Amino acid sequence: GAVVSQHPSRVICKSGTSVKIECRSLDFQATTMFWYRQFPKQSLMLMATSNEGSKATYEQGVEKDKFLINHASLTLSTLTVTSAHPEDSSFYICSAYSSGGAETQYFGPGTRLLVL
């Protein structure tokens, strides 16, 4: 299957700082990427849809000014958590569409964020 990477795999930061998470499709071009958040013992929650060259579409209840998404190329989307607080501590996962065949999303390994 197609490969999606995320960097960093885990990050610890101080409250009030910003953290950038990268999502890359390694062997295919992804016009659309998705960002999810997962709290312990819960399912994945979709945060936003990231389209190359246009503004992201955020799900209801997700603050667009706090979670900045940039999809500058067909292989890279970034999520920046601005002014992070302890309640933002979570597992952040991205996914990307593979261009071949029927629409199929492939997921990255996730980034674990801990805000102190």
Partner 1 sequence: DAKTTQPPSMDCAEGRAANLPCNHSTISGNEYVYWYRQIHSQGPQYIIHGLKNNETNEMASLIITEDRKSSTLILPHATLRDTAVYYCIVSGSSNTGKLIFGQGTTLQVKP
Where along the sequence are the contacts to partner 1 (CB under 8 A)?
Answer: 1, 4, 6, 32, 34, 36, 43-46, 49, 91, 93, 95, 97, 102-110, 112
Decide whether 14 or 41 has the Cβ nearer to partner 1.
Answer: 41
Residue 115 Cα distances to 11, 18, 38, 53, angstroms: 8, 10, 15, 30
Tokens in use for 19?
């953290």
What gap in Å lies between CA 59 and CA 34, rounded to an integer?
11
Residue 15 or 104: the one with the smaller Cβ distance to partner 1 is: 104
Instruction: Select 61 or 102, whichever has its Cβ closest to partner 1.
Output: 102
Shortest Cβ 85–partner 1 spacing (Å):
23
Apex 8 CA angle, 4 and 106, nearest 5 = 15
